Chains A and B, each alone.
Chain A
Amino acid sequence: MRGRLAWRVATVTALREETATARTLVLKVPGWPGHDAGQHVDVRLTAPDGYTAVRSYSIASSGLAADAELIELTVDRVPDGEVSPYLTQIISVGDPLELRGPLGGWFVWRPTQQEPVQLVAGGSGLVPLMAMLRARADAGSQAPFRLLYSVRRPESILYAGEVDRLGDGNGLAVTYAFTRVAPPGSARPPGRLDAALVAESAWPVDTVPTCYVCGPTPFVEAAADLLIDAGHDPARIRTERFGPTGGTS
Chain B
Amino acid sequence: MTEPPFAEENLERREESHLDGNAAAGELRTLFAVDVTAADGQCAGCGRRAVLAEARLYTQAPGLVVRCAGCESVLLRVVTGSGRTWLDLRGLTYLQFATP
Contact = CB atoms under 8 A, between A and B. Distances in A.
Contact of A103 (B25, B51, B60): B25
Given A106-B51, A106-B54, A239-B54, A40 B25 contact: yes
B20 interface: yes
A241 interface: yes
Given A4-B33, A5-B30, A40-B25, A106 B53 contact: yes
A232 B6 CA distance: 39
Interface in A105-126: 105-107
A42 B37 CA distance: 15
B37 A104 contact: yes
A35 to B, nearest CB: 12
B29 interface: yes
Interface of A: 1-5, 40-42, 54, 56, 100-101, 103-107, 217, 238-245, 247-248
Given A54-B26, A101-B26, A106-B54, A1 B35 contact: yes
A239 B26 contact: no
Interface in B3-52: 17-23, 25-26, 29-30, 33-35, 37-38, 51-52
Interface in B34-88: 34-35, 37-38, 51-54, 59-60
Contacts of A244: 17
